[in-house]
Structure 1
Amino acid sequence: MYNWKLWIWPGLAAVACLTALAIWFQAGVVEADLKSRALAALRQDNAWAQVSLKGRDLILTGLAPDKDSQSRALKTVRTTYGVRVASDNSTLLPEEKPFRLTVEKNVDGLVLSGFVPNESARANILAGLSNLLPGIAVSDQMKLARGAPDGLVDLVTYGLSAFTRFSTGSFELTDYSLRVSGQALNPDDHQAALAALSAPLPSGGVLESVNIMPAAVSGDYNWSASISADGMELSGYAPDAVTRDGILATAKASAQDRPVTDLMRFASGVPSGMDWNAATAEALAIVSHLNGGTVSIRGKVLDVSGQAVDGQAFRQIQEMLATGLSSGLVLGTADIGVAVASPYVWTATRDGEAVSLSGVLPSEAVRARILEIAHLKFGALQIIDSQNIGAGAPDGFETAVLTALQALSRLDDNAETRVEDQAVIVQGAALSQVALDDTARLLEEGLPQGFEGQSSMDLAPTPEASLQVSDCQAELNRLVATNNVLFETAEAAIQDHSYGFLDHVAFVARQCGQAQLEISGHTDSDGAEVANLDLSERRAKSVLAFMIAAGVAADRMTAIGYGESKPVESNETDAGKAANRRIEFRVLN
């Protein structure tokens, strides 16, 4: 009989082996599929994660950047279809506190060290550097660690924004604090780097320090300040931020409320032995006196051009340049004019013991002449000079001013004369009718062509009460102590400079009642004695005639000449001779 057991057991063994092989091969396919799908799910947000499988049981491995990432990755694989059990065998990255990242730029390229939180951050930083500095060699020594600040890549991108402007440099990030330093390629790149780092920081970052070394300039180390009605503009170089801030502060103080535009750039190369702060301060002191113009420094040379605000400013600039510059600067060129004044006004006032001159004149020579004439007309009275120099004077202005000055000399205290463009304006009280008439005629006939006289004058009232003899003499002595009668050389003709002085003498004499008055003439010892005696008498008579015309009764006065017989000083000196040439007024009773 056939024994089926003999042939079925080998068949069953073969089937079992084939089945086991089929199951084994099928398990490998399942595991590969599960692993592929799990890694695909992890790739987007958890690229750090790796997996291994035993059948459909999955084990999560890798270095997680933080616990949240661990939890998210585990959740991701657990929800992957086909996974039966998922267990976590991953570990956390080491934590860095503080979290640091450094980028160094040197002649060989870039060196990145410190830490990044994940490979995605690393890739983004490297991509940013590649775009910023294409082709540069990069040595990536960054390690993975936990503890990175939020927005790490944005903070790094901000800090590296100035690197294109550096030949060498470094960027350091410590948590949220940034420090940037570098050597600028040139002054323009220095300014561009500062501009890049002046933008608001992302992600709550704090720019702790910026230290950019200025580049050396090619050519002269220069600086300039230009001023106009619109404001002041600064350009050129400063060696550091402290110096630049000091220059800017001085400029704002000099600009007199006009805006200051700062276009200065940083650069090294200040000339040896020069204090750049002091040099620019001296230049700005000159600029403050300009209405418009430019002061520039080239190396150690100072150049000035422009229009002074007024004559006083012009003189101050000249004095500064004449006395020398203490900062090491040497004057190059100086082309300085005076700003045009409009309206063109000059004023003279007489008040008590002083004459005040103010306003604008066309030149220093004219100013000197006006002062000289004022001293001749007003003698020892104080002359307060506030006159300035300015362009824009109409033709004949000097002559008009001299006419106005003559008119003022014929008036009492509290009088004023003014020349405004081509108008000569006189206000005040004349001390006699002849003084009033002479001044009115002067304004009608004595002005240059194109000028017009305007007057508001009247007669000063003579006090009703007469002076006592002693008071009369005292008042005459006071007047004589302040001035003298001037005559043409070797002649008896009275110079018009003395008309105003004699107006005041006559005004006092009219207050002396019926007191008799002696007018005596005196000379120095030059020339023949007889001739001097004759000259002194003729001069005394000229004064007598003036006094009569000014309203003093002729029968109250006598004129006498003493020649050189009564000197008051030695005739051995010019000053003594000048003192001896005089007119005296003496009350006789």
Structure 2
Amino acid sequence: MHQPSKWWAGLIAVAVLWLAAMVFKTASVEDDIAPRARAAVAASAPTTAAALKVSVAGRDVRIEGPEFSPDQPDRLKDAATVEGVRLVDGRYDKLPTPKPYAFRAARNGSQLVLEGGVPTPAVRNAIVNAARSASASEVVDRLGYALGAPAEFAAIANHGVAQAGKLNGGTFSLADKAYSIAGTAASSDIYEATIAATQQLPGGALLTNVAILPPEAKPFIWSAVREGNTVVMSGVVPTDDIRRGLEAAAAKAWPGTSVMHHMQIARGAPAGDFDAYTSYALTELGRLGTGRVVISDATYAISGEAPSSAAYDEAIAGVGNLPAGLTLAKAEIVPPEVKPYRWSAEFDGTHLSLAGLAPSTAVREAILGSANGQFDGKPIKNQIGIARGAPDGDVAKAGGSLLQQLARLSQGSAAINETQVSISGAGLANVTAASVREQLASTLPAPFAIASVDVRDGPVSPYAFGLQKQDGRVRLSGYVPDEAARRDLVGAATSSFVTETVEDGLKIADGAPKDFVTSLKATFPALARLWSTTLAAKDASITIEGDAIYDKSAEQVRKELADATAGGEVKLADIKIGLKPESPPLPVDACQPAFNGLLEKGRIRFNTGSADLSRESLALLDHLVDIAQRCKEAEISIEGHTDSVGEPEDNMELSKRRAAAVVGYIGDAGIDTSRMTSEGYGETKPVASNDTPEGRAQNRRIEFVVK
């Protein structure tokens, strides 16, 4: 029954069938287990599963890759033991734990190379994606997994990679949480953005080193423009500190003004102190109402309009005071326009002050040169400003013409108002208003014209006065210091020279010696006694020549003149008194008219209540003596009269004594009085009412009656 030799064929067929069944069954089991095991691993290690390899052999699962955490083997073993799994075999590579935990991103030409450690595949992918987003360069991933990454590593690394990717030659490194970045920005905007990004680091990163360079600008240009209520600063500056300093300085310099800036950070600033350059330029811009300042490399340009003459001078001075290392390329500063256009000069006798406007510094210097020439040695205060708007014509020559005339004054002022000029003051010795006007008119350039010349004639030197008495006239000539002095002298002459007509030929001028008028007046009573006379005063010296009516009066006049001039500043230098030629006799019938003619011009006066002749009457008496001398054939009665004041008997007696005193005076003059009588009538023969002062004055009289 047993035939083993016949079994082999059957056994082989059965074995083949069994093997085929086993193969098909195993493949079916693996296809079932593998996806479930991989899903379980991915769910258990979502951030690291991408770095792990999960394979299935029959009902056995093998997991290979880095060991990202100590619990990973057990955790994944449990996770991978899904239904149908017989065995889970974990084969993990131990990861390093570097200290410090280092990461680096470097942009090298067209590549952005990532190196260093990352904690998980998820972090790795995030960093790579960030690198691709930050740069158009090819991203080269040379990262490796490592344990010990600091908290928020991914956020910090992504931040650094994003910034480094924007920079030419950009590098970013992270050592634990120490953040360093370097590179060169291709534009100011990128520079500003990357610098700003370093100020807001994520995850508690510590900024260790920043070496980000701004772009290079050639030429290196910065500018500021002021117009109206707006100041705009543009261009490039080397640092943010300088930029912020300029903003603060502008806001302080122009409060209430809109200060805007379009300044960017760049390399390429000129050698030297760029901060000082821009601060200087901003200060100079502040002197202008509208204007522009530009720094281009190491050159400086300024243009604009000054709001005032003082600001213009300051701006021009500033151009000459550039900081070291800065050179001037252009300065186009215009002064303000002013209307009306005025200039003035004032001289107080010791100092000259110049003020007002000139159209340019050259004109101002020309006027100052004229002032120095005309007022040599005198202190000059120059406050002339520069402004536009001057009238057509040579302002420098007009100012020089006025200064030439002002120098002829002891004090005064001169002015230009548009095309009208004026001058006022007091002349120096022998300078008159007429001469000032004449000379000014001859040198003043067109279209300038004289508006006014209010110059007081200067003192006369020598200061002269003359008096000439002859033929019934007294002529006054020469100078007196003012109108009051003129009236005083003319009045004194009229009172003293009662027998003559006084002619006023006086002029007013400064320069009179002290007590000049008083000294002259003191001589008049004595001079009035002379028949003819000439007085010449020159400064403080008086000379007198004249003819007396009789010998005794000559001596008396000499003494009176000496006494009159004694003790004063004005001295009697010389006196020559002779006798007049003897006058021809008068017929008797001509004597009464001659006496009446003199007595109509003046009255013989006496001291109050007495028969003493007053000094003021001596001149009249001497001329009456001359008439008496010429009327040798006439019988003459000299009669005295009084007013009604007092007792009649007393008045009668007083009138007799006064008449006798006149006869005695004539006799003392050397005249034969044997043909003369004296009578007194008191108040009995009035010629006017005694009820008024005027009437009583007329009644008090001496009469010469020819019989």
Q: CA deviation at 1:318?
A: 0.9
In the alignment, what sits opposite 2:212? Answer: 212
Q: CA deviation at 1:330?
A: 2.3
Letter matched to residue 36 of structure 1: P
In the alignment, what sits opposite 1:305? Answer: 303
Counterparts of 1:61 and 1:170, CA distance in 2:
34
In the alignment, what sits opposite 2:557? Answer: none
In the alignment, what sits opposite 2:268? Answer: 269
Q: CA deviation at 1:486?
A: 3.8
In the alignment, what sits opposite 1:561? Answer: 512
Q: CA deviation at 1:296?
A: 0.5
- CA pair 448-278 structure 1, distance change in 2 beyond 3 A: closer
Q: CA deviation at 1:250?
A: 4.9
In the alignment, what sits opposite 1:491? Answer: 432
Q: CA deviation at 1:230?
A: 3.9
Letter matched to residue 80 of structure 2: V
In the alignment, what sits opposite 2:234? Answer: 235
Q: CA deviation at 1:116?
A: 1.6
Letter matched to residue 48 of structure 1: A
- CA pair 448-191 structure 1, distance change in 2 beyond 3 A: closer
Q: CA deviation at 1:285?
A: 2.2
Q: SS at 1:561's partner residue?
A: coil
In the alignment, what sits opposite 1:326? Answer: 323
Q: CA deviation at 1:203?
A: 4.3
Equivalent residues, number = 440
* 2:252 equivalent to 1:278: no
Q: CA deviation at 1:384?
A: 10
* Conserved 8 A contact 1:361-1:390: yes
Letter matched to residue 210 of structure 1: V
- Note the alpha carbon deviations across 1:182-205, whole angstroms, 9 max, x for none: 1233xxx14323224424444454
Letter matched to residue 490 of structure 1: V
For the pair shown, the structure with the greater C-alpha radius of gyration is: 2
Q: Residues 367-516 of structure 1 correspond to what in structure 2 (within 5 A)?
A: 485-486=426-427, 490-491=431-432
Q: CA deviation at 1:11?
A: 6.2
* Conserved 8 A contact 2:429-2:459: no
In the alignment, what sits opposite 1:26? Answer: 25
Structure 1, unaligned stretches of length 5 or more?
347-353, 373-381, 399-445, 450-482, 503-518, 524-529, 567-585
Q: SS at 1:192's partner residue?
A: helix
Counterparts of 1:181 and 1:303, CA distance in 2:
36
Letter matched to residue 512 of structure 2: G
In the alignment, what sits opposite 1:337? Answer: 334
Counterparts of 1:311 and 1:330, CA distance in 2:
25
* Conserved 8 A contact 1:522-1:564: no
* 2:196 equivalent to 1:198: yes
Say which of 132, 135, 139 aligns to 1:133: 135
Q: CA deviation at 1:334?
A: 1.8
In the alignment, what sits opposite 2:104? Answer: 102
- CA pair 29-194 structure 1, distance change in 2 beyond 3 A: same
Letter matched to residue 198 of structure 1: A
- Note the alpha carbon deviations across 1:273-314, whole angstroms, 9 max, x for none: x43233223222211212221101223322111222433222
Counterparts of 2:52 and 2:296, CA distance in 1:
65
* 2:45 equivalent to 1:47: no
Q: SS at 1:521's partner residue?
A: coil
* Conserved 8 A contact 1:162-1:196: yes
* Conserved 8 A contact 1:221-1:270: yes
Letter matched to residue 213 of structure 1: L
* Conserved 8 A contact 1:301-1:329: yes
Counterparts of 1:120 and 1:539, CA distance in 2:
124
Higher relative contact order (CA 8 A, sep 6+): 1
In the alignment, what sits opposite 1:36? Answer: 35
Letter matched to residue 337 of structure 1: V
**What is the percent sequence identity of the aligned residues?**
27
Counterparts of 1:564 and 1:168, CA distance in 2:
104
- Note the alpha carbon deviations across 1:330-361, whole angstroms, 9 max, x for none: 22222223467999999xxxxxxx9x999x97
Counterparts of 1:227 and 1:152, CA distance in 2:
50
Q: SS at 2:459's partner residue?
A: strand
- CA pair 564-587 structure 1, distance change in 2 beyond 3 A: closer
- CA pair 254-39 structure 1, distance change in 2 beyond 3 A: same
In the alignment, what sits opposite 1:172? Answer: 173
Counterparts of 1:289 and 1:447, CA distance in 2:
27
Q: CA deviation at 1:317?
A: 0.9
Q: SS at 2:125's partner residue?
A: helix
Counterparts of 2:341 and 2:62, CA distance in 1:
99
Counterparts of 2:278 and 2:194, CA distance in 1:
28
Structure 2, unaligned stretches of length 5 or more?
344-350, 370-378, 396-415, 438-450, 466-475, 493-507, 514-536, 541-567, 571-707
In the alignment, what sits opposite 1:427? Answer: none
* 2:115 equivalent to 1:113: yes
Q: CA deviation at 1:24?
A: 5.7
* Conserved 8 A contact 2:340-2:417: no
* Conserved 8 A contact 1:183-1:214: yes
* 2:3 equivalent to 1:65: no
* Conserved 8 A contact 2:64-2:92: yes
- CA pair 501-74 structure 1, distance change in 2 beyond 3 A: farther
- CA pair 242-538 structure 1, distance change in 2 beyond 3 A: farther
TM-score of the superposition, structure 1-length normalised? 0.56
- CA pair 565-325 structure 1, distance change in 2 beyond 3 A: farther
Q: SS at 2:482's partner residue?
A: helix
Q: CA deviation at 1:484?
A: 7.9
Q: CA deviation at 1:143?
A: 1.0
* 2:149 equivalent to 1:148: yes
Counterparts of 1:547 and 1:94, CA distance in 2:
125
- CA pair 168-448 structure 1, distance change in 2 beyond 3 A: closer
Say which of 459, 465, 478 aligns to 1:521: 459
Counterparts of 1:158 and 1:539, CA distance in 2:
108
Counterparts of 1:489 and 1:236, CA distance in 2:
69
* Conserved 8 A contact 2:191-2:213: no
Counterparts of 1:539 and 1:282, CA distance in 2:
68
Moved more, 231-240 or 334-343: 334-343
Letter matched to residue 181 of structure 1: A
Counterparts of 1:239 and 1:216, CA distance in 2:
10
- CA pair 307-488 structure 1, distance change in 2 beyond 3 A: farther
* Conserved 8 A contact 2:29-2:59: yes
* Conserved 8 A contact 2:430-2:460: no
In the alignment, what sits opposite 1:513? Answer: none
- CA pair 108-485 structure 1, distance change in 2 beyond 3 A: same
- CA pair 270-52 structure 1, distance change in 2 beyond 3 A: closer
In the alignment, what sits opposite 1:408? Answer: none
- Note the alpha carbon deviations across 1:430-463, whole angstroms, 9 max, x for none: xxxxxxxxxxxxxxxx9999xxxxxxxxxxxxxx
Q: SS at 1:290's partner residue?
A: coil
Q: SS at 1:297's partner residue?
A: strand
In the alignment, what sits opposite 1:544? Answer: 482
Letter matched to residue 51 of structure 1: V
* Conserved 8 A contact 1:521-1:539: no
